[in-house]
């Protein structure tokens, strides 16, 4: 439950002294995190932002994509009309939302031409997925838990990242932290892993338009390279080692460092390409105009 607060940024939530009482009766807080449109970080607030952003670029959507956007708007309306919602109603809403959001994502990714716009869109996806995964791992597996709890926790992490079936194919039902970290952090063939995200980011930043007079690697290239290299050099034995206070400090240090690098990459991209007060970067090479 604490990881829900950390992942969504809906503080204080289940954290601190105020969260102790909520841990005993979490239903109201979970419903708020999902359905309170006025709460920054909630599902409803994020969904509203998605719909508003979709309308801002409505001329770029196909009719199929608009059908999905209409479905999302209808689901947002249903959320607003709920009176005394329950967790069962929330579960039903989440199942519908997952289907609609998956369809929307698939249509966008399969229909969009692979120009600079797509590069920025995909980099945003990779950065967001990376930061969310880092936050999830830092809030769940840094502290050592009893074996039975850790096994359930590993299974939940795999399920939430759509990797449970793949894990069982490789490791059967043995829930081990080293195998989890191998799959979610280091496996570059797993599209949900951090290694996969950093590899794609490395590829994308090389293709970004930049000042042709500048030599060497750009700041974005250096940050992506350092994140990818830091991850590749990680040693599993060190990551799973537990110190006297029951924490995996090496793992925490790695995840913290990667979070710093990826947030710096996001900030650098914003400063270079999306801030109006900065000198603009042409998105099309001058020679092609």
The answer on pLDDT for 284 being more than 60 is no
User: What is the Cα–Cα distance from 232 to 273, expressed in whole angstroms?
Assistant: 29
Stretch 96-104: mean pLDDT, rounded? 94
Whole-number average pLDDT of the chain: 91
The answer to whether 231 and 182 have CB atoms below 8 angstroms apart is no
19 CB contacts (<8 Å, ≥6 apart)?
Answer: 2, 5, 12, 13
| Per-residue pLDDT at 276 | 64
pLDDT band at 268 (very low <50, low <70, confident <90, very high): very high
pLDDT band at 286 (very low <50, low <70, confident <90, very high): very low
pLDDT band at 14 (very low <50, low <70, confident <90, very high): very high
* 102-to-105, 108, 204, 289 alpha-carbon distances in Å: 5, 10, 23, 36
| Per-residue pLDDT at 281 | 58
| Cβ neighbours, 10 Å, residue 11 | 14
The answer on pLDDT for 289 being more than 50 is no
- Alpha carbon 282 to its chain centroid, in Å, reads 29
Q: Which of 102-106, 184-188, 206-210, 275-279 has the lowest mean pLDDT?
A: 275-279
82 CB contacts (<8 Å, ≥6 apart)?
Answer: 35, 89
pLDDT band at 58 (very low <50, low <70, confident <90, very high): confident
Stretch 33-45: mean pLDDT, rounded? 94
User: What is the Cα–Cα distance from 114 to 106, expressed in whole angstroms?
Assistant: 14
Domain positions in the chain are: 1-112, 113-289
């Amino acid at each position: 439950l604490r990881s829900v607060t950390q992942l969504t940024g809906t503080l204080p939530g289940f954290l601190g002294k105020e969260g102790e009482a909520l841990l005993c009766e979490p239903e109201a807080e979970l419903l708020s995190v999902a359905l309170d449109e006025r709460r920054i970080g909630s599902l409803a607030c994020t969904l509203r932002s998605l719909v508003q952003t979709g309308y801002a670029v409505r001329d770029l959507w196909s009719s199929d994509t608009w059908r999905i956007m209409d479905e999302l708007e209808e689901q947002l309306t249903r959320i607003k009309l709920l009176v005394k919602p329950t967790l069962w109603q929330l579960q039903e809403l989440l199942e519908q939302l997952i289907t609609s959001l998956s369809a929307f994502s698939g249509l966008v990714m399969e229909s969009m031409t692979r120009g600079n716009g797509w590069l920025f869109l995909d980099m945003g996806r990779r950065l967001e997925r990376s930061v969310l995964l880092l936050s999830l791992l830092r809030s769940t597996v840094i502290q050592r838990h009893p074996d039975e709890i850790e096994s359930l926790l590993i299974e939940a992490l795999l399920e939430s990242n759509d990797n449970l079936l793949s894990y069982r194919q490789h490791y059967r039902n043995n829930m081990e932290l080293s195998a989890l970290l191998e799959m979610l952090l280091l496996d570059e063939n797993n599209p949900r892993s951090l290694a996969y995200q950093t590899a794609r980011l490395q590829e994308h930043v090389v293709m970004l338009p930049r000042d042709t007079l500048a030599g060497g690697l750009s700041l974005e290239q250096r940050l992506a390279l350092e994140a990818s290299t830091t991850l590749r050099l990680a040693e599993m034995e060190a990551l799973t080692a537990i110190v006297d206070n029951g924490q995996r400090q090496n793992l925490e240090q790695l995840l913290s460092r990667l979070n710093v690098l990826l947030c710096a990459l996001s900030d650098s991209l914003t400063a270079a390409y999306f801030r109006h007060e900065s000198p603009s970067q042409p998105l099309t090479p001058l020679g092609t105009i």
